[in-house]
Structure 1
Amino acid sequence: MKCGEIIEELEKKYPLFMAEPWDNPGLLAGRREKEVRKVYIALDATDRVIGEAEKAGADLLLTHHPMVFSALKKVNTDDFIGRRLVELIRGDISYYAMHTNYDVVTMGEQAAEMLRLRDTEIMEVTYDDGSRQEGLGRTGELPGEMSLAECGRYVKQVFELDTVRLFGNPEQKVSRAAVLPGSGKSLVDAALRTGADVMISGDFGHHDGIDAVMRGLTVIDAGHYGIEKIFVSQMAGYIRETFTGLTVYTEKDENPFWVV
């Protein structure tokens, strides 16, 4: 199967026009006419991931986060982005990223389903053509009322995490959650607007967390990686179901940092 044929199917389900304006999803390196038999799926195109894709003999590297966000004026091995691009091109590995277009179509809904949220609604609508509505995150009712601490333990269990951070009184009762894989601090307003009393997301800094609590929103920070890692297994399942005859490899589930 040609790389371009795979991309065509991916973009039917996850259209590029649904990505945020600042984002850069799509084919970032390689050839559409490349014959693809092996696909490697990861969250980020790191040196380790590219090396593993090469060892696996992958023809296509598919990641969530784009390695290239802004325009490049040169591509050489003097910097890490250029070095990675050169390595991919030299290995004839086509490289495709699907970021916020995937987030709005699938990831928020997947996270909400894993948390068993009920009566969900889109937290922040980013696309609405009158017949179809998509957006970032989902807000819904938790399986039952619980304390913030209990909810934190529940999030750890669902997403198989070692730790989460809580902002707010651990004993406070919560019942309506807003979940946003990745970074959530910019969507506190949306979480409050949809009636959430706890936000489950990542990348909350000191002031982001205490400010949210002051506004009536408790926070469970599962880390940027903590929830977004579901992309790898979910996308692997989609590729296997949609494209027969492809061999799919996935990166090892490993947090990019250590807590000591």
Structure 2
Amino acid sequence: MKCSELIKKLEALAPLPMACDWDNPGLLAGRSGKEVKTVYLALDATDSVIEDAVRCRADMLITHHPLIFRPLKKVNDEDFISRRILKLIQNDISYYAMHTNFDAAPGCMADLAGARLGLTDTEVLEVMGKTVDDKDYGIGICGNFPHAMTLREAGEAVKKAYGIPFVTVFGDVEDGGPAVRTAAVCPGSGGSTLKEALRWGADVYITGDIGHHEGIDAVANGMAVIDAGHYGIEHIFTGFMEKFLEENLEEKLNVIKERDVFPNHVI
């Protein structure tokens, strides 16, 4: 199938108008008319991802995070961003990113993250708009754990749900810590929606990239925070997209996804 035909499927799943104004999803490099037989899925278009896509002879690279956020004045081998773009074009790999449109679309990132934790009675954390069938869409999700648990148990549940080696917890975990039942989840970087989680009255906020002051301020306002890292929740993108492409395309493609490797470590 052509790249443009595959893009129509991707944008039916996560329409571009659902993206935040500052974002830059879509076809970022390459030919829309490219014939696609092999797709490579990744969270980020890193050097190693692009090298692997070239090695696998991928026709199209699909990532969650866009490689290009700001306008490029030059495309050459002297800057790491433009060097990656150059390599993709040289190897005739069309490159597509689906970022906050995938975060916000119903059934995508937020719903997937909530389902992994078994959250019930869920609602959108930060509503951005409504779909044509009058359904809220937006960033994050808020709901209830199946049963109350301690903060320490919630941290363990987060690690298990997303298959990650560690989390950072803001809040008292001595003797297990306080009981938590209501959870707000914002995959990726959640500092901007922390106040929304407080407004929802969440017992715990599960997200990534929370700084020291944000964390202690949340606790001071009665809400614990479990920081799973930016990668920790969002890496579920690749597994979901692999299944989506296998189940929703008339033409079978060779789909390859990057190996899950947590990018930071506790030593």
Which residues in structure 2 correspond to 1:63-74 (within 5 Å)? 63-74=63-74
Give how far 1:129 is off.
Answer: 5.7
Structure 2: which amino acid aligns with 1:111?
Answer: A
* Aligned mates of 2:246, 2:103 — CA distance in 1: 20
CA distance in 1, matches of 2:84, 2:181: 45
Asked whether 1:223 is paired with 2:229, we answer: yes
Query: Matches of residues 188-203 of structure 1 in structure 2 within 5 Å?
Result: 188-203=194-209
SS at match of 2:181: strand
How far the C-alpha of 1:102 sits from its partner, in A, is: 0.1
Kept in 1: contact 2:66–2:97 (CA 8 A): yes
TM-score, normalization: structure 2? Answer: 0.95
1:9-46 deviation per Cα after TM superposition (whole angstroms, max 9, x unaligned): 11122111100000000000000100000000000000
Residue 258 of structure 1: how far off its partner (Å):
2.5
AA at the equivalent of 1:147: T
In the TM superposition, what whole-angstrom CA distance separates every residue of 1:152-202 from its partner, at most 9, and x where no partner exists? 011111111111011011111111000111011111111122221100000
Deviations 1:116-156 (A, max 9, x none): 00100100001126723201111001111111011001111
Contact 2:38–2:254 (CA under 8 A) maintained in structure 1 = yes
Q: Residue 244 of structure 2 aligns to a residue in which SS?
A: helix
SS in 1 for 2:125: strand
What SS is found at the alignment partner of 2:202?
coil
Equivalence for 2:76: 76
What's 1:253 paired with? 260
Counterpart AA for 2:229: G
Q: 1:222 and 1:12 mapped to 2: Cα distance?
A: 29
Q: How many residue pairs are counted as aligned between the two chains? A: 260
Kindly report which structure 2 residues correspond to 1:69-218, keeping only aligned pairs within 5 A, or say none. 69-105=69-105, 106-128=108-130, 131-170=134-173, 171-218=177-224
**SS in structure 1 opposite 2:188?**
strand
Displacement of 1:73 in angstroms is: 1.0
Q: Which residue of structure 2 aligns with residue 58 of structure 1?
A: 58
TM-score by length of 1: 0.98
Q: Quick one: which amino acid aligns to residue 56 of structure 1?
A: C
**Percent identity of paired positions between Structure 1 and Structure 2:** 52
Secondary structure (helix, strand or coil) at the match of 1:103 reads helix
> In 1, distance between residues paired with 2:239 and 2:248?
14
Counterpart of 2:27 in structure 1: which amino acid?
A: L
Q: 1:125, 1:148 → 2: CA distance?
A: 27
CA deviation vs aligned residue, 1:80-117 (integer Å, no higher than 9, x gap): 00100000000000000000000011100001011000
Aligned equivalents of 1:257 and 1:82: distance in 2? 25
The unaligned stretches of length 5 or more in structure 2 are none
Computed over aligned residues only, the root mean square deviation of the Cα atoms, in angstroms, reads 1.0
Range that drifts further, 57-66 or 180-189: 180-189
Quick one: which amino acid aligns to residue 246 of structure 1? L
Q: CA deviation at 1:215?
A: 1.2
Deviation at 1:257, TM superposition (A): 2.1
Alpha-carbon separation, structure 1, partners of 2:154 and 2:101: 29
Moved over 3 A (4+): none
C-alpha separation in 1, matches of 2:76 and 2:218: 43
Distance in 1 between residues matched to 2:43 and 2:61, nearest whole Å = 10
Match runs of 1:235-246 below 5 Å: 235-243=241-249, 244-246=251-253
**Residue 14 of structure 1 corresponds to which residue in structure 2?**
14
Q: Which runs of 5+ in 1 are unaligned?
A: none
